[in-house]
Chain A
Amino acid sequence: MNTVPQDVVELRLPPDAKYIAVVRLMVAGVASRVGIDVDEVDDMKVAISEAFTNTIDHAYQGRDPGLVTVRMIPSDAALRIEVIDEGLGFDPGSRDFTQLGALTGEGGLGLYLVHQYMDEVKIESAPGSGTRVIMTKRLSR
C-alpha cells in the first residue's frame, strides 16, 4: 500500500536579520495555503519573527554561525513550525516565558509573544546542544 509522504517545507539560512522578512513570507504563505485565517497568519508572523530573532541574538554568540533551519509541517489538524539551530543552547527551564515579566525592553518579551500567539510551544535545548523551538497552530475546521 502506498502512503502519501508528509509535506515538509523547509528553509536553511544564516542567522542574519536580513532574512527575517523572508522567513515571515514563507510562514505566511504556507499558513494561508492550509486555510489559516488572515488574523492568525498575522499572529504567526510575529511568532516566527521572535523565534528567528532569538536564534540570531543568542544561538551563536562567540562562535562561527551555523545555519538555521525553519521547517513547516502541515497536517489535517495543525501546522507545526520548527526553528532549529546548532548553537550554544540554554536551559529552557531557567525562566518562565509564559509569564510577562517586567517591561524593561531587555528580552524575554519575544518568547512570551510566541507563547501568546501559538497554540502550543515546546523548546528543546540544553547548554551546548543547540535549540529546537516547536510551535504549533491548530487548524479550526
Chain B
Amino acid sequence: MDVVDGWLQTIRVEGELDAYTAPQFMEAVTQTLDEGFSWLVVDLRQVEFIDSVGLGILIGGSKRAGEKNGDMAVACDRPNVRRVFEVSGTAELLNVVDELAHAVEILATERAARIGGQVCKPGGEAQ
C-alpha cells in the first residue's frame, strides 16, 4: 500500500480476485479505512480476474469511505475485468478508469471541491 500526499491510500492487487483470495483484499481495505483513510484508490491493473466477491468488497469499501466523507476510485485496464464492472453496473459507482493517475485525479478533484465547501449535486444545487 502506498500513501500519496498523506490523504490518499493506494491498494495494489495482483492475480485473481475470487472467494479464495478475497479475504486478503478485504483485510487490506478494512485496515486502510480503520487507519483513518477515507480516500482510496484500488489499483487493479495487474488483476486478471474478478467476480462478485471482489465487487462486493469494493462496493462495501466505497460505501464505508463515503460514510467517512471520502470516496474510492479504481484503476483497471484489462478488458475482461472492466467488463465485469460494466455488466454489473458498478463502473460509475466505483469511479472505474483505465489509468492510475486518472483515478487519483478524480479523488483529488472531489476532495478539493469538498474542502472548498462547494459539493455540487446533479442539477447544480450546492450544499
Contacts and interface: CB of A to CB of B under 8 A. Distances in A.
Given A17-B19, A53-B18, A110-B52, A100 B89 contact: yes
A103 B89 contact: yes
Nearest to A53: B19
B55 A20 contact: no
B59 A20 contact: no
Bin the interface of chain B by size.
20 to 34
A49 B56 CA distance: 14
Contacts of A110: 51-53
A112 B88 contact: yes
Interface in B17-45: 18-20
A130 B19 CA distance: 22
B84 interface: yes
Contacts, number: 64
A42 interface: yes
Nearest to A52: B19
B20 A21 contact: yes
23 contacts: A17-B18, A17-B20, A18-B20, A20-B19, A20-B20, A24-B49, A43-B80, A46-B84, A49-B49, A50-B51, A53-B52, A53-B53, A100-B89, A103-B89, A103-B90, A105-B57, A109-B56, A109-B88, A110-B51, A110-B52, A113-B84, A116-B87, A117-B87
Interface of B: 16, 18-20, 49, 51-53, 55-57, 59-60, 63, 79-80, 83-84, 87-90, 93
Interface of A: 17-18, 20-21, 24, 39, 42-43, 45-46, 49-50, 53, 56-57, 100, 103-106, 109-110, 112-113, 116-117
